[in-house]
Amino acid sequence: MERVSWDEYFLELARTTASRATCSRRKHGAVIVKGRRIVATGYNGGPSGYPHCDEGACPRAMSDAAQGSDYERCIAIHAEANALLFSSPEERDGASLFCTGAPCFGCAKLIANSGVAEVVASGGRYEGWDQTRDFLRRSGVRVRLLDGLEGVPVLDLTSGAGVSDRPRVTVPEHDA
């Protein structure tokens, strides 16, 4: 029996962590790893002690706001932010953050200033992702989005199959 790769292992743990999310719109998970040891986990949901999104406490969740908009009314703390909050600066220094979706720009700013050296996500590109990715890279954070684009293999975490047999697709890098 072949063992799964470290990427598959930690991204699967991030997916499992996402099962604790209380956001009624989307469930994300994150795991911070240093030296192949788990430092912290996080999932998206309201602050501790505050009623949860899935209990009707989030004005944005109750609205028909489009994905990617109206976040100022959202009470959820993102998975990446929660994982950062539950780790110390020493634990984050040089660590990798594995997450179930590409981080938003707000989380990217936190990651860039946290000491995390690498972000590994299983997918979740969105409009504006290229700018967020470039921001992280310019901030010295390595970024790997394992969705089959940019010559990186796909990790299919929906079927439990692991690395996909789908052909790799290369997208040319933009000139800066």
Out of 2, 8, 12, 80, the active site residue is: 80
How far apart CA 115 and CA 68 sit, in angstroms, is 26
CA neighbor of 163 nearest in space, from 145, 146, 144, 150: 146
- Strand 142-145 and strand 162-163: pairing? unpaired
Query: Is 80 annotated in the active site?
Result: yes
Q: What amino acid positions are annotated as catalytic residues?
A: 80
